[in-house]
Structure formats: structure tokens, C-alpha cells
Amino acid sequence: MSALIINGKAFAASVREKVAEHVARLKNEHGITPGLAVVLVGEDPASQVYVRSKGKQTVEVGMNSYAHKLDASTSEDALLGLIEKLNNDPVVHGILVQLPLPKHLDEDLVINSIDPAKDVDGFHISNVGLLGTGQKSMVPCTPLGSLMLLRDHHRSLSGMDAVVIGRSNIVGKPMAQLLLGDSCTVTITHSRTKDLPDLVRRADIVIAAVGRPEMVLGDWIKPGATVIDVGINRIDKPEGGTRLVGDVDFESCAAVAGAITPVPGGVGPMTIACLLANTVTACCRANGLEEPDGLSA
């Protein structure tokens, strides 16, 4: 193995530390405590785990956490009513509606009812447009975390060839916009892309956000390239039980890459850290105060 292993877990801890310092300053100097409201509809077990973890980490950095757990049968009107209330609540600086929502609720309608200034997931159509036009926006957490890791490793990404595998609204598309914003030459690939391995072989930076376990192989990677593995897939172990793997075949890619994120312990921990960063950023913007350095795009 030759690649440097990018330690997302340690980097996420440093982001949380910066957030906590800024939260303390907001409290001491301005009497303001940033608040994050998380809305969970239904009983999806994975969503429950994420929401618990988000609440716990929010409190750990000194912010207020407001959890709203609604029944799976909640009507769209009731959910929109709650969001309206949170939009107008001055102690709430960030609002996150945990996805996926139950089938009877229109996700786009719900997300677009959040005040864009409080949309700490960065999924509101206004934030998507602001990001796409290079303006100040709320940036989706997983791509923001991936960008932070890349900037920390390379300092400047200017002129680098980047291939993003996956075109989801949550990861692939905003990731491509962020890389473009940092002056990379960006190729977005997806399930219909021809000759994917050949395209990936040209990349100085590879972002894998596919949802297919260990799909990207070592002989797709240009020697010395940086590989950011966003994928989180649970697979069966031959000896029984399960383990987490990314969208990248770690062993073969690490033998060729210059740097690579592991799964777990790479991009994963950055996502919640960036949610906290977005909440403190939203709070500063709402109050016309200086934003913390290095916590936004």
C-alpha cells in the first residue's frame, strides 16, 4: 500500500472543535446560542440512528438541539405547518428534515418550504441555484466535507482534473459544483456513462458516490491520484456478520493512489461535522456577525 490514508475522523473532530470555539464566542460575546431543529417523520431505523447522532453532536458543541419526531402518518399540511413555525422561530438557526420521507409526502415541496437561510442541508432550490452560480449559499454537508478534506490535502485544487462518479442531488451534482468553484476541470459520470474506467484513469481527483460496494478498482486509478470514497455499503462477511465498505475497492486503489479516504473513518464523519458547521454559519449570517473561517465553501 502506498497511498496516504486521509483521516476523516480526526479532521471531523477538528471541525467540531472549531465549531465549539465559535459557539462559545457567540454565547460569551453576543448572548446567542445557535440552534438546530431536526425533523424526523416515521420510524425508519437508520434515520432514527442518524437523528440521535445529530442531536448528540449538536449538544456536544454547545448548540441547542430541537428534535421533532412525527408519526409516519403525519399529513403534508401538518409537516408544512411545523416547518413554517420553525422558519419563524428566532432560536432556530438551522432546520433539517431527515430523508427519506414516507411516500405520501412530497420531498421537494417539503424541502423547498424551509427558509433557505436555515436550510443547513443545502437542498433548497435557492441554495442549489446560489451554489451553481458561485454565490454564497448553504452547501450540502457530504460534498462540503469532501471538499474540506481535499483542500486540506492539496491546498490548491486549481487546474486539477476531477471525475465525480454519481449525479445525485445530494452528493454528485453539488460536489461537481464545488470542484468547479475551486477551478478543477470536472467530469460528471453516472450509470449511463461509457468507458467509465477510462475516464477515471485521467483524473487527479476521483470522487466515488455511487452506492455500489467496491466498484472502483485499482487499475482505474491514475498513479498518485486522490480518491475520495463517499460510498457507505454494508456487505456480508464470508465468516458471517457484516462490514462497511465504500464504493472503492480500498486495497487495490490504495496501492496506486497518492491519497485515499477509508470507509469507515473517511468522508462519513465529515457529514455531521459539516452540518454543525453549517448551523453556526447560518446563525452568524442571521445575526449579521462574522462567519468562522474555514467552515464553509
Write out the residues near ligand NAD by the rule CB under 6 A.
142, 165-168, 170-172, 189-191, 193, 196, 209-212, 230-233, 247, 267-268, 271
Identity of the residue, 7 or 33, whose beta carbon is nearer to ligand NAD in the bound complex: 7
CB of 24 to ligand NAD, least distance (A): 27
CB of 169 to ligand NAD, least distance (A): 8
CB of 267 to ligand NAD, least distance (A): 4
Identity of the residue, 5 or 117, whose beta carbon is nearer to ligand NAD in the bound complex: 5
Tracing cell 453556526 back to the chain, one arrives at 280
CB of 88 to ligand NAD, least distance (A): 30
Out of 18, 57, 98, 222, which one is annotated catalytic?
Answer: 98
Separation between Cα atoms, residue 47 and residue 45, nearest integer Å: 5
Q: Which of 216, 229, 202 is nearest to 6 (CA)?
A: 229
Active site residue 121: yes
Burial 166-205 (b: 16+ CB within 10 A, else e): bbbebbbbbbbbbbbbbebebbbbeeeeeebeebbbebbb
Separation between Cα atoms, residue 290 and residue 269, nearest integer Å: 26
Q: In this structure, are residues 140 and 172 in contact, taking their beta carbons and an 8 Å threshold?
A: no
Residue, CB closest to ligand NAD: 168
Identity of the residue, 86 or 220, whose beta carbon is nearer to ligand NAD in the bound complex: 220
Active site residue 98: yes
Active site residue 54: yes
DSSP annotation of 98: P
Q: What's the grid cell of residue 244? A: 462497511
Identity of the residue, 101 or 170, whose beta carbon is nearer to ligand NAD in the bound complex: 170
Catalytic residue IDs: 54, 98, 121
